[in-house]
Structure 1
Amino acid sequence: MDWLEMHNLEFGECTVLGSLEGNILMVDCGSMNVKIRESDMEVTDYVENNIVPRYFDAKERSFLLTHFHRDHMSGLRYLLKRDHGFFHRVFVPAASVNREGRALLIEFALYVFAFLGRQSEYSQMSVSALRIFERLHYALGIGNVYSLSRGSQFDFEGVAYDVLWPAAGGYPFSPLLTEIVEELDVCLSSPFLGRGAPEFLALKNEFCGEYLRLCQLTSPQNRGYLGDMEESLSRCKRLLDKIEAMAPSLQLIPAAQNIIEILSRPAVREEYANAQNTASIVFQNHRTREASLDDIIMTGDATPETFDQIAEELYDAYYIFKAPHHGTASSWSHLFKDILKSHILISNGDYHAAGGVCMEWAEDEGIKHCANNAACAWFQEKGSCCNRTAYCWEVCEKGAMTLRCPKVAGGARDSGCGIYVISFQSDRGCFCDGDETPSKTRKL
Structure 2
Amino acid sequence: MSGERDTRRESQITTDTDTIRNWGETHEAVPVRYEEGGETRMAFVRESDLEEHHEQLDWTDFETGMDEHEMVAVRHDDTDEMEIVDRNEVVGHAAITDEDVEERLLEGETVRSEFTERSVVERTIVEEVTVESEVTDREMIESDTVDAELISREVEDCEVTNVDMTDTGIEALNTFGTGTRSEVECDVDVTIDEAWTVTKENVERVTIESRIVETDVEETDTLESDTIRETVDLEGVERTVLQGELVDSKHAADRAIEHGHVESRFRDDDTIETHLIRSQVVEEDLSIRRMVSGEVRDAETLSSETISHTAVESDIVEPAEYDRDLAAEREAGMEDTESLDEDERTTAAETVEADETMTTGEAAMPSEDDEGKTVVNASGDEIGMVTAVDDGQMYVDPHPSITDRIRTALGWSGHDDEDTYPVENDHIARIEEDEVVLGVDRKG
Alignment TM class, shorter chain as reference: under 0.3
For CA contacts below 8 A with separation 6 or more, give which structure has more relative contact order.
Answer: 1
Which one has a larger percent strand, Structure 1 or Structure 2?
2
TM-score, structure 2 normalization: 0.17
Q: Which has the larger radius of gyration?
A: 2
TM-score, structure 1 normalization: 0.17
